[in-house]
Structure 1
Amino acid sequence: MQATASKYSLAGLNDFFKTNGQGFLVSVVVAAAAQFLSEHYGAPAMLMALLLGIAFHFLAEEGVCKPGIEFTARTVLRLGVALLGARISVELMIGLGPKLIAVVVLGVVATILFGLAGARLLGRGWRFGLLTGGSVAICGASAAMAISAVLPKNEHSERNLIFTVLSVTVLSTLAMIVYPMLTEVFDFNDEVSGVFLGGTIHDVAQVVGAGFSVSDQTGEVATLVKLIRVAMLAPVVLVISIMVRSHMSDEDKGAKRPPILPTFVIGFLIFATLNSMGLIPAVVVDAMSSLSRWALLVSIAAVGMKTSLKRILDVGGQAILLIVFETIFIAVFVLIGVALLGH
C-alpha cells in the first residue's frame, strides 16, 4: 500500500511539473531578465517584468506554457504576498509613536474611500475603485495583486490589474525622483521627510531609494512607515473578502464564495506574528523577504503574459485620471497630517 501511495504521489508530482513547469520557467526567465535590466539600467524591476511579460503574451494564448503561466500568476503570487508578512514587526512600529502611525493608517483608509468615490463619479466600477485605491494606499503592485486575488472576476479583471500595476509603478518611480525635492522645498527634517516619503510613495523599493537619497535617518524612517502601510494589507483584504461574500450571497446564493480569510492572508498574518515575537531569525527574515520579492516579480511577469497591450490601452483616460488623483490625495493627506501634528 505504501509503495502504491508513493508511486501515485510521484506520478502526480511528475504530472504537475509536466503541466506547469514550462510556463513557470518562462516566467522565471522573464523575471530574471527584468532584474538584470533593473540592476544595470536603473529601471524598476516590476515595470520591466510587466512590459517584458506583455511582449510574450502569445505564450499565454495557447500551447504548452499556458497552464504554467496561469499557475504562476495565481499561486506564486499568493506565496509572494504571504511571505511579505515576515517583514512586519510590531516592535519596530511602536518606535514611531501612535500619532504618526494614526496619520499613516488614516491615510490608507481615506485613500481607499477616495478611490471608491472617485470611481463612482467617473463612471467606473467599484472593483476598479478598490483595486486602484488599495494599490496606491498600501504597497503598489503587491497590494494590487493581493486585492485582485479576492475580487470577483469579470471580463475586465486582468486588464484592470495590469493597468493598475503599470500605473502605480510608473507613478512610484516619478515620486521617487520628485518627492525628495519636495522635502527640501518644504525644509522638512529627517523624521518628517521619512514619514512623508514612506507614507506616500507606492512601492517599497522606491521608498527605500527615495529615503536613503535624502539621508540614512530619513531612509530608515521611510522604510518603517512603509512597512506600516504594508501591514494594512491583511486587514484590507479581509474586509474586501467579507464585502464580496456578502455581496455575492445577495446576488447569487448558489455561487461559490471566496473564504472570509484567504490562505495567503493567513500566511501573511502568521509570519508577521512570528517575526513580531522574535521567533524568526534575522537571516531567515532576509531570505523570506528576498523570496517574496522574487515570487512577486515572477508572478507579475506571468500576469503580463496573460494580458495584451491592446486591452490595457482600452482602459481609458478616466482611469488614468483616477489613479493620478489618488496619488495626489494621499500625498496631500500625509502632508496635512504631519503639519497638524506640528512636525
Structure 2
Amino acid sequence: MPSAARSWLLHTRSLWPGLALPLLIMLGATFLSEHYGGPQLLYALLFGLAFHFLYQDARCRPGIEFCARTLLRIGVALLGARITLAQIGQLGMGPLATAVIAVASAIALGAWLARRLGLGTDFGLLCGAAVSICGASAALAVAAVMPKTPDNERHTLLTVVGVTGLSTLAMVVYPLLARILRLDDSGAGIFLGGTIHDVAQVVGAGLMMSHETGDVAVIVKLFRVTLLVPVVAVLAWYWRRRSSIGEAGPRTPLLPFFLVGFMALVLANSLGVVTPRLNEALGQVSRVCLVVAIAALGIKTSFEELVKLGWRPMALMLIETLWLVAIFAVYLCVFR
C-alpha cells in the first residue's frame, strides 16, 4: 500500500472513536424530535454537554474536532441548495431593504451592547449574526471563522441555546402578534420570515396561519440566509485584519471555502442544475452535518463553564430579538 494511502487510512481510523458519539447523539436527537416534538439541534446540544468528559480522552478528541469544524462547514455550505435568486426577486425592494437594515443594525447593536455588558465585541457580533440571520446555523457559520479560543467556543454554545429557545418561543407568540397587528397573509409572512431566527420555526409559524403566509415567510427567511455570505465574509475580514496586528489568534481566510460553496449552490439551484430530488438530498445531508457538528460542540463544552457566563448573554439576545420585531413592525404598519 502506498505511504500516502496508508497515512490517510490511519488518519481516518483515528477519527472514528470521536466521530461515533456525535453520530449516535444525532440519531437520538432526531428520534426525540420526530416522535415527541421540539428542536433537534437543542436536543443534540444538550446530549453533547452530558458527554463532555469524553473530550478529555485523547482517542476521542480528533474525531470530535473533525465534527465540530469540518462537518460544520460542509453543513453550512449545503444550505445554499435551498435558495434561488428568483425566490429572492419575488419579494420586491421593501422587504429586502428592511431585512438588510435589520441584519446590519442588529449586528451593530449586538457589538455595542455586548461591550456595555462586559461580554466583548466578538460575542456581540456572534449573537447579532445568529439572531438577525438564521439562528443556530448562522452562529455555527460565524464560529467557523472566529478566532479559536475557549471563551469563543463557550459563547458559541450559549448562543445556540439562546437563539434556539427564543426561536421556539417566537414560533408560538409571533403568529398571535401578527393577528394583533392585523396583518394580511402576505404581511404576516414578511413579519414571521423577517423576525424568527431558525428556518424550521419560520415554517411552523407560517403554516399556523395559512399556506400563503408560510410560503412568503420561507422566502423572506431564505433571503436572510443569503445575507450570511456577506456577513461572514466581512467578519472573517475583520478578524483577519485584527490578527494581523497581533490582537487575536490565528488568521482566518478572507473568504472561507465553505462560503464559496454556499454561493455556488445558490447559483446552481437558480440555473436549474440542482434537481428537486438532489435538492432534497443535499438539504438532508446539510441537516445531518449541522446536527452532528452541534453535538460535537456540546461535547467540547463544559456545562459548568456555560453557567458561569450568567444572565447578560440572554439579555443581549432578547434585546436583539425585540429590535428585529420593532423594525419589521414599523415597516409593515407605517411604510408598507
TM-score by length of 2: 0.97
Instruction: Return the match for 2:202 from 194, 199, 207.
Output: 207
- The answer to whether the 8 A contact 1:212-1:218 is kept is yes
The partner residue of 2:233 within 238, 249, 273 is 238
Residue aligning to 2:189: 194
Q: Residue 292 of structure 2 aligns with which residue?
A: 298
Corresponding residue number in structure 2 for 1:71: 66
Whole-angstrom distance in 2 between the partners of 1:269 and 1:68: 28
**Alignment partner of 2:303 out of 298, 309, 312:** 309
Equivalent residues of 2:168, 2:201 under 8 A apart = yes
Deviations 1:290-343 (A, max 9, x none): 11111101110110011011011011211111111111111111111222323x
Residue 5 of structure 2 aligns with which residue? Answer: 10
- Given that 2:147 and 2:250 are in contact with CA atoms closer than 8 Å, whether structure 1 keeps it comes out as no
**Structure 1 segment 211-226 matched on structure 2, within 5 A:** 211-226=206-221
Matched, 1:279 2:269: no
Runs of 4+ in 1 over 3 A off after TM superposition: none
1:109 paired with 2:104, answer yes
**Aligned-partner Cα distance in 1 for 2:21–2:150:** 25
Residue 68 and residue 248 in structure 1: after superposition, are their counterparts in 2 closer, same or farther (change >3 A)? Answer: same
Query: C-alpha displacement at 1:252, in angstroms?
Result: 6.2
> Shift of residue 13 of structure 1?
3.1
The 1-side partners of 2:191 and 2:333 are apart by 11
Partner of 2:130: 135
- 76-85 vs 22-31, which moves further: 22-31
CA–CA distance in 2 between the matches of 1:19 and 1:331? 47
Show structure 2 runs of 5+ residues with no match: none
Name the stretch that deviates more: 286-295 or 15-24: 15-24
Relative distance call for 1:50 and 1:252 in structure 2 (3 A) is: closer
- Equivalent of 1:264 in 258, 263, 266: 258
Quick one: distance in 2 between partners of 1:306 and 1:249? 28
Q: Distance in 2 between matches of 1:245 and 1:297?
A: 28
CA distance in 2, matches of 1:308, 1:276: 42
Q: Give the deviation of 1:185 after TM superposition.
A: 1.6
Paired residues of 1:100 and 1:338 also in contact (CA < 8 A): no
After superposition, give the CA deviation of every residue in 1:135-159 in whole Å (9 maximum; x if it has no partner): 0010001100110111112331111
Q: Which amino acid aligns with 1:82?
A: A
Counterpart secondary structure, 1:251: coil
Please state how far the C-alpha of 1:169 moved relative to its aligned partner.
0.4
Alignment TM-score, normalising by the size of structure 1: 0.95
Checking the alignment, whether the CA contact within 8 Å between 2:148 and 2:250 is kept in structure 1 is no
SS of the residue aligned with 1:81?
Answer: helix
- Structure 1 residue aligned with 2:90: 95
Amino acid in structure 2 at the alignment position of 1:126: T
Q: In the TM superposition, what is the alpha-carbon distance from 1:282 to its structure 2 partner?
A: 1.6
* Count of paired positions: 336
Structure 1: how far apart are the matches of 2:81 and 2:334? 33
For the residue of structure 2 that corresponds to 1:188, the secondary structure is coil
Q: CA–CA distance in 2 between the matches of 1:219 and 1:198? A: 9
Give per-residue Cα distances to partners, 1:51-79, cap 9 Å, x unaligned: 01101111112142221011100100000
CA contact (8 A) 1:103 1:338 kept: no
- Residues 1:165 and 2:133 aligned together: no
Say which of 331, 334, 339 aligns to 2:328. 334
**Structure 1 equivalent of residue 148 of structure 2:** 153
How far apart are the structure 1 equivalents of 2:281 and 2:245?
44
2:179 maps to 184
* Match in the other structure for 1:319: 313
The one-letter code sitting in structure 2 at the alignment partner of 1:93 is I
CA RMSD of aligned residues (A): 1.4
SS in 1 for 2:119: coil
Please say if residues 191 and 329 of structure 2, whose CA atoms lie closer than 8 Å, have aligned partners that are also in contact: yes
Is residue 2:57 matched to residue 1:62? yes
Q: Quote the Cα distance in structure 2 between the aligned partners of 1:276 and 1:224.
A: 14
What fraction of aligned residue pairs are identical, expressed as a percent? 44
State the distance in 2 between where 1:100 and 1:323 align: 23
Aligned amino acid, residue 30 of structure 2: Q
1:256: how far off? Answer: 4.5
Distance 2:102 2:291 in 1: 27
Letter matched to residue 187 of structure 1:
R
